[in-house]
Amino acid sequence: MTISDVAAASTPISQRIPSTRHYAMTPPAHFAVEYAINPWMDTSTAVDVERALRQWNTLRQTYLDLGHTVDLVEPVAGLPDMVYAANGGLIVNGVAIVARFKFPQRDGESSAYAEWMTAMGHTPRYTKHLNEGQGDLLAVGGILLAGTGFRTDEGAHAEIAQLTGLQVVTLHLVDPRFYHLDTALAVLDGTTIAYYPPAFTEASRAQLAQLFPDAIEVGSADAYALGLNVVSDGKHVVLPAAATGFAEQLRQAGFDPIGVDLSELLKGGGSVKCCTLEVHP
Ligand code: ARG
């Protein structure tokens, strides 16, 4: 599939069809806000680990109820952000790429996720440049949308294109609140995305509008609830419960929104998608 194929094919609204997915999640057993590496994090905020675990379990159960597979990754003490499994890497086209984190506080997660990949039968691959896995690398219809500006280096985009054999579209993020691509853009199916335009440069917005003429543009209230941090199976869209405006837009577009409260994990600057690493076939 090439970039122009993605733009040409769009799914009729009446035909939203779910497909069974394979996810990996890491329980927030050691969750904390001990450092602040994004504007959502405030080290003076108290964190309730029991509540985080309950909310996380509801998310996991939601996927299981939808018929998806959820693998569990063993959490490691001293790595409070490990619950944000999306950042651990990218598995697509049979290639498993391990994250190279920007901040030293998250360094240790790379080996934990590499071990998990190895246990799954993959050979973990590494990039020379920084890459924060599916936080910034989103597969859609046989191509990859790749964010840069805060975490993942643009240099990693080329390395990842090489490693996966997929075409990569570089998108520039400009607002520190939306520091990972998955906080500003949601993949809903192979041809449909939703995004928050102010999070991108003018040029990236133009590129998105051209590639995805049916894209849903999300307003500030939903974006600031991390409403775009969703997981979709092509029909059911699991999203932060507070993003009620976006939920309505999804309904209008023929999707089935399922709100989940992850307010405890929002304290670390993440929500539904951040907690979910999709293993693409
Ligand atoms: N505290 C984590 C960080 O700043 C949150 C990561 C959220 N993950 C995501 N996929 N956006 O790195």
Q: For 245-255, what is the mean pLDDT?
A: 98
Judge whether 180 counts as a catalytic residue: yes
Q: pLDDT band at 253, cuts 50/70/90?
A: very high
- Expressed in angstroms and rounded, the spacing between residue 248 Cα and the centre of ligand 1 is 26
- The percentage of residues in the chain with a pLDDT greater than 70, rounded to a whole number, is 95
| Residue 40 pLDDT exceeds 70 | yes
Cα dist from 84 to 197, 213, 248, whole Å: 24, 30, 26
pLDDT band at residue 8 under the 50/70/90 scheme: low
Q: In the prediction, which pLDDT does 228 show?
A: 98
Cβ of 88 closer than 6 Å to ligand 1, yes or no, is no
Any residues with CB less than 8 A from the CB of 111 and at least 6 apart, and which? none
pLDDT digits (tens, 9 = 90+) for 62-117: 999 999 999 999 999 999 999 999 999 999 999 999 999 999 999 999 999 999 99
Q: Report the pLDDT averaged over residues 211-239.
A: 98
Is residue 274 part of the annotated active site? The answer reads yes
47-51 own/partner pairs: CB under 8 Å, 24+ apart: 47/264, 47/267, 48/264, 51/264
- What would the mean pLDDT of 252-272 be, rounded to a whole number? 98
Residue 3 predicted with pLDDT over 80: no
- pLDDT given at position 15: 82
pLDDT digits (tens, 9 = 90+) for 168-208: 999 999 999 999 999 999 999 999 999 999 999 999 999 99
User: Residue 109: CB within 6 Å of ligand 1?
Assistant: no
Residue 234, pLDDT > 70, answer yes
Pocket test residue of 30, 79, 134, 180 for ligand 1, highest count of atoms within 8 A of CB: 180
Are the C-beta atoms of 73 and 40 separated by less than 8 Å?
no
pLDDT at residue 12 greater than cutoff 70:
no
Contact in structure between 122 and 96 (CB atoms under 8 Å) = yes
User: What tens digit of pLDDT does each residue of 146-171 get?
Assistant: 999 999 999 999 999 999 999 999 99
CA distances from 89 to 99, 233, 246, 264, 278 (A): 5, 20, 27, 23, 10
The amino acid sitting at 249 is: Q
Q: Is the full-model pTM beyond 0.85?
A: yes
The pLDDT value given to residue 5: 61
Q: Please tell me the predicted confidence (pLDDT) of residue 117.
A: 98
**pLDDT tens-place string over residues 117-126:** 999 999 999 9
CB of 135 within 6 A of ligand 1: the answer is yes
* CB neighbour burial string for 52-86, b if at least 16 within 10 angstroms, e if fewer: bbebbeebbebbeebebebeebebbeebbbbbbbb
CA distance 235 to 257: 8
Domains and CATH numbers, the chain: 3-8+16-278 (3.75.10.10)
Mean pLDDT across the chain, nearest whole number?
96
- Alpha helices (H) in 39-192, listed in sequence order: 49-65, 108-119, 154-164
Q: What are the structure tokens assigned to 121, written together? A: 């039968």
Cα–Cα distance for residue pair 140/2, rounded to 1 Å = 11
